[in-house]
Amino acid sequence: MHVDFDQARYRERSLWLEGCASLKPRPTISGDVGCDVAIVGAGFTGLWSAYYLKRLAPDLRVVVLEREIAGFGPSGRNGGWASAGIAASPKVYLRRHGAGSVLRAERETFATVGEIGRVAALESIDCGFVHGGTVTVATTRPQLARLKASVDARRARGFTADDVRLLEASELDERVRVAGALAGAFTPHTARIDPARLVRGLADACERLGVMIFERSEARRIGRGRVECATGAVVRASHVLRTTEAYTTELAGEKRRFLPLYSLMIATEPLSSAIWEEIGWERGETINDQRHLFFYAQRTSDDRIAIGGRGAPYRLGSPIDEVNERNDVVRERLAATVRRHFPAARDAAVTHHWGGPLGVPRDWSMAVCYDVRSGLGWAGGYAGHGVVAANIAGRTLADLLLDRQTDLVSLPWVGHQSRRWEPEPIRFLASRAIVGVLGSADRHEDTTDRPARRVRLVAPFVLPR
């Protein structure tokens, strides 16, 4: 009975998890285990780390501990954008590492989109991978100014016209008809995926390589050489990796490492071919806009629109809670976005609504860390941009742990330290201000077509540009 209840709960976490063939949990850890590497968290970061470690060193004994099931967290719930672009503010890394290092990091993210597709094909993971790029639209003049500025900024950092370019109105229209779009930009460096099928398939691939995965096995204490589990079992390991992203804030001493901000999504029912003929959107592109609380969308492999956005309120007492995964206001805002921008789909039923917590560091810039002396490592802080970043983090952690002097281990996020968030209630007030001010700025720009200066009020707390 317990298993059936859990499977229903897991299925409800996202459209993607609902579509997985089986969510039957793997065994729970019951006795002490000795291994070379213990990894806590079976999302993309933990599983990519395990995967590359075993590919590079097949004899390594790797154990993964997961509190729920593989892909239970945002890895099984996200927008399915395997998108390039660093999970950070370029400015933050630029100050410390210089322009060349940042461009190298950006180029690594371009290549990683293909790397994810390569492994999916190699391991026969049917995750709907389509390398179709991203179309970004602007629907007001302030959005258009930001769109142009963002293309210019990327070109100034060394991107070419093949990496990102503005789209002529006719070219945009030929790809996808977004009502109200004044202009668009295109980058080819994104693939659309079904994230749950990728992360669950990756867990299976890890097992085939000999990784031991324990599910419903919560780590209570993560320390040098050992992980203590809620069941009382102890995993002894020479190396211990913590890959728990936003959930890290639930661990002792880690509360202020990230701001756990929620991102929420909806999906429509599958749309008819007549509707798709009106919309276009035939090449698997992902689509977003330039609002401050921007939307991100994909056409799913079963012909739905799956669309997400921020804006869910942060709750002081329980920042991470399943109650936060659904919110009527955000659901309606996303449904209205579908109606406004894709009027052909205005009568489509919204069949799914879900969400999950993002791990947002104080400077919005990810880190991959490994301490040779203690054998402890961790990676995360992707702030909602973790699909590609987690693959890079997994490869980098594998190289660091195996002492391989590759290009990856000198990328700017390696060893990066973000300062901690302010204590509550400041972190709470900051998160409320981010959502409140940015939402009101979007409304102002939509109605007046003029830039909202109020965004400066939250500048100290948002991604430094």
Ligand X SMILES: Cc1cc2nc3c(=O)[nH]c(=O)nc-3n(C[C@H](O)[C@H](O)[C@H](O)COP(=O)(O)OP(=O)(O)OC[C@H]3O[C@@H](n4cnc5c(N)ncnc54)[C@H](O)[C@@H]3O)c2cc1C
Binding to ligand X, residues 380-439 (CB under 6 A): 380, 382, 384-388, 390
Nearer Cβ to ligand X, position 140 or 217?
217
Exactly one of 52, 81, 129, 295 binds ligand X (CB under 6 A); that residue is 81
CA distance 178 to 232: 55
Nearer Cβ to ligand X, position 83 or 140?
83
Nearer Cβ to ligand X, position 413 or 452?
413
Q: Is 65 in the site for ligand X (CB under 6 A)?
A: yes
Q: Is 241 in the site for ligand X (CB under 6 A)?
A: no
Q: Is 358 in the site for ligand X (CB under 6 A)?
A: yes
Q: Which distant-in-sequence residues (6+ apart) come within 8 Å of 95 by Cβ?
A: none
Pattern 254-293, binding to ligand X, x per CB under 6 A?
A: ---------x-x----------------------------
Q: Is 46 in the site for ligand X (CB under 6 A)?
A: yes
In the complex, minimum distance from the CB of residue 264 to ligand X, in angstroms, rounded to a whole number: 6
Nearer Cβ to ligand X, position 51 or 72?
72
User: Residue 428 — left, alpha, or beta (φ > 0 → left; ψ -120 to 50 → alpha)?
Assistant: alpha
Exactly one of 106, 215, 245, 363 binds ligand X (CB under 6 A); that residue is 245
Nearer Cβ to ligand X, position 176 or 306?
306
Nearer Cβ to ligand X, position 73 or 412?
73
Contact 132, 192 (CB under 8 A): yes
Q: What is the DSSP string of 265-283?
A: EEEEPPPPHHHHHHHB--S
DSSP-derived pairing of the beta strands 376-380 and 234-242: parallel
CA distance 363 to 367: 11
Residue 98's identity, in one-letter code, is G
Pattern 208-237, binding to ligand X, x per CB under 6 A?
A: ----------xx------------------
In the complex, minimum distance from the CB of residue 41 to ligand X, in angstroms, rounded to a whole number: 3
Q: What is the DSSP string of 313-347?
A: PP-SS-SS-GGGG--HHHHHHHHHHHHHH-GGGTT
Q: No. of H helices and E strands in the chain?
A: 12, 18
**Which DSSP category does 403 fall into?**
T
Nearer Cβ to ligand X, position 142 or 309?
309
In the complex, minimum distance from the CB of residue 267 to ligand X, in angstroms, rounded to a whole number: 11
Exactly one of 66, 108, 194, 289 binds ligand X (CB under 6 A); that residue is 66
SS3 of residue 135 by DSSP: strand
Nearest Cα to 263, choosing from 297, 194, 311, 328? 311
Q: Is 244 in the site for ligand X (CB under 6 A)?
A: yes
Q: 266 forms bridges with which residues in the sheet?
A: 307, 353
Exactly one of 243, 249, 300, 365 binds ligand X (CB under 6 A); that residue is 243
Nearer Cβ to ligand X, position 14 or 140?
14
Pattern 292-331, binding to ligand X, x per CB under 6 A?
A: ----x-----------x-----------------------
Residue 312's identity, in one-letter code, is A
Q: Which distant-in-sequence residues (6+ apart) come within 8 Å of 437 by Cβ?
A: 454, 455, 457, 458
Of 64-72, 169-177, 367-375, 400-408, the window that binds ligand X (rule: CB under 6 A) is 64-72
Nearer Cβ to ligand X, position 73 or 90?
73
DSSP-derived pairing of the beta strands 259-268 and 234-242: unpaired
CA distance 286 to 299: 7
Contact 90, 81 (CB under 8 A): no
Nearer Cβ to ligand X, position 140 or 298?
298
Q: Is 77 in the site for ligand X (CB under 6 A)?
A: yes
Helices (DSSP H) in 137-251: which residue ranges?
A: 141-156, 169-175, 195-208
Distances in Å between the Cα of 250 and the Cα atoms of 228, 253, 291, 428 are 15, 9, 31, 16
Q: Is 75 in the site for ligand X (CB under 6 A)?
A: yes
CB atoms within 10 A of CB 72: 28
Binding to ligand X, residues 110-139 (CB under 6 A): none
Of 39-47, 94-102, 111-119, 127-135, the window that binds ligand X (rule: CB under 6 A) is 39-47
Exactly one of 26, 67, 97, 427 binds ligand X (CB under 6 A); that residue is 67
Nearest Cα to 352, choosing from 410, 270, 465, 440? 270
In the complex, minimum distance from the CB of residue 94 to ligand X, in angstroms, rounded to a whole number: 22
CB atoms within 10 A of CB 245: 28
Closest residue to ligand X using C-beta atoms: 386
For ligand X, the binding residues (CB under 6 A) are: 40-46, 65-68, 72-75, 77-81, 83, 218-219, 243-247, 263, 265, 296, 308, 355-356, 358, 380, 382, 384-388, 390
